[in-house]
Amino acid sequence: MDQEEDGTPLLMHVRRVACSTPADARGLAWLHELLEWTSIDERELLTEGLTSDELRALRLLKRRTDSRSTAAYLGHLRMIAVAAGDSGRLARIIKLADLEDRRRHPHVRLDGWSPPYAHALQILQSGLAAASSPGAGALPFRSDVPTTGGAAVGA
């Protein structure tokens, strides 16, 4: 988890994101790239004090593939935009800071592809507006998705 594909230190991005999030999400923002860039076991994170909601937020933030598909990337953003509970709220706060940082400092892959950060921000902001509307429903984030070790993290 040292460098992005282009050699830029990943910690620079993580630091900017963490510093731009509210205090209640800042610690988790420092970890927002952890599941995507390392092989850390989720149980280890829980043992070290991460809450189930925080782990769910990290799971929401983790992209399932490293595809160069704009549709897959935006679909992932839509999932975060409508995620329920505190895990969804934390993921949206961190992803908003992440996207703002990536818009200013784009992560362009070696093959030239870059996620559509501006469009992703629009999707996330629309989801935030919808989530704050009275009576708005959100899709639940599944807590029964197995962890790396095969055990589920309970709700």
In the chain, domain spans: 10-131
Provide the mean pLDDT of the chain: 82
Closest Cα partner for 123 from 86, 47, 71? 71
- For residue 68, is pLDDT > 80? yes
How far apart (Å, rounded) are the C-alpha atoms in residues 35 and 118? 24
What the block records as the tokens of 13 is 């991005």
Span 91-137, pLDDT tens digits:
999 999 999 999 999 888 888 888 899 999 999 988 777 666 655 44
Higher-confidence residue: 86 or 112?
Answer: 86
From first CA to last CA, the distance across the chain in angstroms is: 29
When pLDDT is averaged across residues 146-151 and rounded to a whole number, the result is 38
Express each pLDDT in 15-50 by its tens digit: 999 999 999 999 999 998 888 888 889 999 999 999
CA dihedral 3, 54, 61, 110 (to 10 degrees): 0
CA angle 59, 12, 96 (to 5 degrees): 45
pLDDT digits (tens, 9 = 90+) for 50-61: 999 999 999 999
126-131, long-range: CB < 8 A, 24+ apart: 126/81, 127/78, 127/80, 127/81, 127/82, 127/92, 128/81, 128/92, 128/96, 130/81, 130/82, 131/81, 131/82, 131/88, 131/92
